[in-house]
Every structure is written in C-alpha cells, then in structure tokens.
Amino acid sequence: MQKKKLAIVIPASIVSDTPHLREKTFKIGLVGRAAAVFRVNEIIIFKDLPKQRQEKELKLVSTVLAYMETPQYLRKKLFKITPELRYAGILPPLRTPHHPLANKAKDLKIGEFREAVVTSATREGTFADVGVEKPAFIPKIRLKTGKRITVKIVRRNKLLEAALASPDEIREYWGYKTTAYPLPLGQVLKRRNFDLVVATSRYGKTLKEVAAELRSRWSEAKEIAVVFGSPSLGLYEIAKHEKLSLDDVADFVVNTIPNQGTETVRTEEAIFASLALFNVLLRDANL
C-alpha cells in the first residue's frame, strides 16, 4: 500500500524580508524543522515574482533545506563549501529517525535503515559510508561513487554488510526531499498534478467551514500539497500576477489563522500554525 505523501509549496521570496544571510539561514531552518515535526515528505519552492530573476533565492532556500535534511555524517561528502552554507552551523538539528546518533559499527542493529553515500565499487559490490568507522558492503551491486542511497543493515561481523532499501518500505518518518522549480505557482501545480491542493490565505474560508469536506478529500488523496504565500504577497496576489484564479488551481483556500493580531503572518509562522491544525483535524486521515 502506497504511503500518503505530503508536500508543502513555498515561494522563493520566503526570506525576502530578512536582509542578512545569517537570519535568512535561521528562518529557512524553521521551515525545515516544521516540515520534520509534521512529517512533510517534500518541500517545493516556486518562483513567485514573475518579473524578477529569483535564481539566487531558489538556490539559497533549496540548498539550506537539502543540507539540513542530510544526516550530519554525510554532509561533507555531499556538499561543497558554498556561500549559501556560510551560516549552516546555526541550523537546528532535525533529530528525525534518519539522523541517528550511533556512530559505532557495534551499535548498529540488524534490520536498521541508514542513509549512506557510495565511497567505492568493485566487481564484487559497493562500499558505502553509513556513519560508522568502517564502510558497509553491498554485494553484487555496483553504484556510482558519491551517490546517496538508503540501505538496510543485514550482517554485522568483521565485514559490515547492507542491502539497498527504498524509503517507501520504512515505516518511520524518513525526512523530506527538496525540489526547486524556476516556474510560477500555476505551472508547478500543473506539472505535479497533486490529488489535493490546499492553499492558505487570510481571505480563505475558516477551517470550521471546510472541515468535513477537507477530511473526506484528505483521506482519499495519495499526494497532497499545502501552499503558502510570501512575506509580501499572499497567494491571491501571487495568482493574480500569474493571471490565474487561486480558487481554480486550489481545491480549498483556508484561513488557518483567523482573527490574526498582526498585520502580516510570516511564512514560517503560517507553516507551523497550518500544519499543526491539519495534524489535529486530519490525524485519522493521515494514514
């Protein structure tokens, strides 16, 4: 049975209201934490200012989020030193199941899943770094050096042996992937063709008004997207700039923070608030 997959869709200008890279990094870190807390499977970043080049913003947000999701023992192998990661040290740890603390081979358990990176390959198989003092050997499979993979520990003797695994066979939450599209929101949603799209807006209906129908649709959907606006533009404004109607591209437009006490709600605040509400309302439909 295929697992239900939840994505959040955020604008590239999510950190446009923050001038310094250090604060931008911290804000992106809050998004990553929210995604992990509420078991988000994918974070999608879209181009929300059609008349502006947003390559730098797309790269910054996607790089920091991808770095944050990567287990610490793999980061040096998978990421080069780049300006975007200058303040990566302030990112909060995710502490998800795929970020284990054990770093000794003797502490590994048979049947345990680990994220790994391929270090070398021979005729007999592949060696991969699984975050302990010696590599794991995957017999009869040759993989490209530097490739990130998911493995299952199958033997722990003098030779540490593992088998390739798919995240879909893991019952625990196994982190999110990050996808950046240099495309506007409407094109992203059309390309991905989600079963259910929920947009968040202060001009949307209250959760109480749509709760019953939303629960029903959520329980039936396999791939769900929850979409958020930027610090300066709400989703209705973003859609208008694309000459689209938000109500046409989203199945629901929901106000998850009614009677807000501030003039604006920051995107990272809206993500925490919205996902917390959906988590309570829809917990029986999340399976």
CATH number for position 281: 3.40.1280.10
Whether 192 and 262 share a structural domain: yes
Q: What is the pLDDT of residue 170?
A: 93
Whether 81 and 120 share a structural domain: no
Q: What is the pLDDT of residue 255?
A: 96
**What are the φ and ψ backbone dihedral angles of 89, each rounded to 5 degrees?**
-65, -20
Q: What is the pLDDT of residue 24?
A: 97
Q: What is the pLDDT of residue 17?
A: 86
- Of 118, 135, 169, the residue that ends a domain is 169
- The residue that leads in pLDDT, 158 or 24, is 24
Per-residue pLDDT, averaged over 120-131, amounts to 96
Q: Which two tokens stand for residue 185?
A: 């929101």
Q: What is the pLDDT of residue 282?
A: 78
pTM here is: 0.94
Number of domains making up the chain: 2
Whether 164 and 207 share a structural domain: no
Q: Distance between CA atoms of 172 and 157, rounded to whole angstroms? A: 26
Assess whether pLDDT exceeds 70 at residue 278: yes
Whether 9 and 57 share a structural domain: yes
Whether 29 and 111 share a structural domain: no
Q: What is the pLDDT of residue 158?
A: 85
Q: State percent of the chain over pLDDT 70.
A: 98
Assess whether pLDDT exceeds 60 at residue 201: yes
Q: What is the pLDDT of residue 196?
A: 97
Per-residue pLDDT, averaged over 78-102, amounts to 95
Whether 17 and 147 share a structural domain: no
- The residue that leads in pLDDT, 168 or 9, is 9
List Cα–Cα distances, 225 to 25, 44, 93, 143, 145, in angstroms.
Answer: 24, 9, 25, 33, 34
Whether 137 and 274 share a structural domain: no
Is 188 within a domain? yes
Assess whether pLDDT exceeds 50 at residue 95: yes
Mean model confidence pLDDT for the chain: 94
Q: State percent of the chain over pLDDT 90.
A: 86
- Chain segment 132-160, per-residue pLDDT in tens: 999 999 999 999 999 999 999 999 988 89
Assess whether pLDDT exceeds 50 at residue 287: no
Is 100 within a domain? no
What does DSSP assign to residue 107? G
Per-residue pLDDT, averaged over 219-248, amounts to 94
Whether 160 and 269 share a structural domain: no
State the Cα angle at 53 between 184 and 244, rounded to 5°. 25
- The residue that leads in pLDDT, 167 or 140, is 140
Assess whether pLDDT exceeds 60 at residue 238: yes
Please, which contacts does 203-211 make with residues 24 or more away whose CB atoms are closer than 8 Å?
203/234, 203/236, 203/253, 203/255, 204/252, 204/253, 204/254, 204/255, 205/252, 205/253, 205/254, 205/255, 206/254, 206/255, 206/258, 207/254, 207/255, 207/256, 207/277, 207/281, 210/252, 210/254, 211/281
Whether 194 and 57 share a structural domain: yes
Whether 161 and 187 share a structural domain: no
Reported as type and span, the H/E element at residue 217 is: helix 207-220
- Of 149, 169, 189, the residue that ends a domain is 169
Assess whether pLDDT exceeds 50 at residue 217: yes
Whether 121 and 222 share a structural domain: no
Whether 88 and 118 share a structural domain: no
Structural domain range at position 165? 105-169
CA atoms within 13 A on the CB side of 282: 27
Per-residue pLDDT, averaged over 177-203, amounts to 96
- Of 124, 142, 169, the residue that ends a domain is 169
Assess whether pLDDT exceeds 90 at residue 22: yes
Q: What is the pLDDT of residue 149?
A: 97
The domain spanning residue 134 has which CATH number? 2.40.50.140
Q: How confident is the model at residue 281 (pLDDT cuts 50, 70, 90)?
A: confident
